[in-house]
Amino acid sequence: MEKELEKSTVVLCGDDDQGVVQIADEVVMMIAALATAEVDGVGTIGGISTSEFTGRVNKKYLRRGVRVEVLEGNVSVGVAITVQYGINIPTLCAKVQSKVKNALENMTGLTCSDVNVRIVAMDMKKDKKDK
């Protein structure tokens, strides 16, 4: 049912009578980035402010903060984030992992095998309006 067609896309379902449904890796990346941005305490993802993910984000910048690998219906995700000062890091990472896994599995139907979170910096700004 699920097979890889190109390196950058995966076929979710293929039916010769009706056609095929493909999803690009960039779509999987964006879903992971948006889910990460929804978690309180995440300052930036790959240097992009979480508030900027509501608009269109350049793929080049997105790839700095989110990596996905889709093989045989399984997705492996890595996100690089900045953490806001004062946030419990293990709790934040668990929330990011859960949110990303649930979003990917619900929206794509793929199985999320792992979500790796890398803390690249700490945001020392204390007011959210300073972001």
Q: Is residue 59 part of a domain?
A: yes
Q: What is the percent of the chain with per-residue pLDDT over 90, rounded to a whole number?
A: 48
Q: Is residue 16 part of a domain?
A: no
pLDDT value at 95 more than 90? yes
For 51-83, how does the pLDDT look when each residue is reduced to its tens digit (9 = 90+)?
666 565 566 667 778 999 988 889 999 999 999
Domain range holding 68?
25-130
Q: Is residue 7 part of a domain?
A: no
Looking at residue 44, which CATH number applies to its domain? 3.30.70.1350
CA-to-CA dists, residue 44 to 16, 34, 59, 79, angstroms: 43, 11, 16, 10
pLDDT value at 6 more than 80? no
Q: Is residue 43 part of a domain?
A: yes
Structurally, the chain folds into a number of domains equal to 1
